[in-house]
Amino acid sequence: MNVQFDFTGRHVMVFGGTTGINLGIAQAYANAGARVSVVSRKQANVDAAVATLGAGALGVVADVRDEQAVAAALEQAVERHGALDVLVSGAAGNFLAPADQMSSNAFKVVLDIDLLGSFHVARQALVHLRQPGASLIFITAPQSTVPMMYQAHVCAAKAGVDQLSRVLALEWGAKGVRVNAISPGPIEGTEGMRRLAPQGEEGDAMVRSMVPLGRMGTTDDIARLAMFLGSDAASYISGTVIACDGGAQGQLSSMITAAATGMREKT
């Protein structure tokens, strides 16, 4: 089925939108006619993304851990493209580490990026979201519901993101703002897979064997779901966390363990 979305004249802003899944989302919206703004903390990534997204795209450098920087990025985007129709909060951090070898600061860094950063984006964006009609989409992860070794920091942070999305759906529904979250499974070619999955042909085969549909996902798979949630077709969907994973989320813990085991064997 070829589903076509038209976002002509709508403003879509993607935090973390310069690489991986989030860049794929930004590209899909741009291809559907949206005015796109992307945010990243690295200037080089911002420049590369804007070059890919086209001359009409806006790129802003900001760290989601800095609430004032987030506010400034939002103001710049709204001044350029108008009120926000779709906001995607996807900035994230991750690494493999057993809890007893993880420093307090390392744990805090991931919570600050994933959870506190998500709050900063949502809180500062509210005044700029089109009311009624806006869609806020968080990018979460299966670690939010599936306990995984070497992922204590991410499990804690993403569980918080899930609950944050549900609470905001309750609080902001009366304003006409819908809030949902997407939980991607293994997505090929992403930094997450390079960090969290065993590598090489054997590693890829192992990952595919964990997915009932028999393949890894693509950034287009996530982008299409994000576009659906941002569209009028999803006008009665709010407060949900939707897995886009080929049915795999409950089985990914062993992927993480295998990746961590491989890392230990190399050191």
pLDDT of residue 3: 75
Looking at the 3D structure of the chain, how many domains does it have? 1
Q: Please say if the pLDDT value at position 55 is more than 90.
A: no
Measure the CA–CA gap between 173 and 160, rounded to whole angstroms: 19
Whether 12 contacts 34, CB under 8 Å: yes
How far apart CA 196 and CA 16 sit, in angstroms, is 19
Does residue 5 fall inside a structural domain? no
Confidence of residue 263 (pLDDT cuts 50, 70, 90): low
Residue 6 is assigned to a structural domain of this protein: no
Specify the pLDDT at position 257. Answer: 85
C-alpha span between 247 and 226 (Å, rounded): 18
Contacts of 133 (CB under 8 A, 6+ apart): 85, 176
The pTM of this model reads 0.95
**Which residue segment(s) compose the domain that 39 sits in?**
11-266
Element (H, E) at 173: none
pLDDT of 173-195, one tens digit each? 999 999 999 999 999 999 888 88
| pLDDT value of position 264 | 52
Asked, for residue 2, whether it belongs to a domain, the answer is: no
> Per residue, what are the HEC states of 182-237?
EEECCECCCHHHHHHCCCHHHHHHHHHHHCCCCCCECHHHHHHHHHHHHCHHHCCC
Which residue in the block uniquely carries the two structure tokens 């080089």?
Answer: 44
Give a yes or no: residue 3 inside a domain.
no
Helix axes 219-230, 20-31, angle to 10 degrees: 60
- Within-domain flag for 250: yes
Give the integer Cα–Cα distance in Å for 24 and 90: 11
CATH of the domain at 215: 3.40.50.720
Residues whose CB is less than 8 angstroms from the CB of residue 84 and which lie 6 or more positions away in sequence, other chains included: 11, 12, 13, 74, 77, 78, 125, 128, 129, 130, 134
Question: How far apart, in whole angstroms, are the C-alpha atoms of residue 91 and residue 83?
Answer: 21
As beta bridge partners, residue 182 has: 139, 242
The helix/strand/coil state of 41 is coil
Please write the tens of the pLDDT for every residue from 223-260. Answer: 999 999 999 999 999 999 999 999 997 788 888 888 88
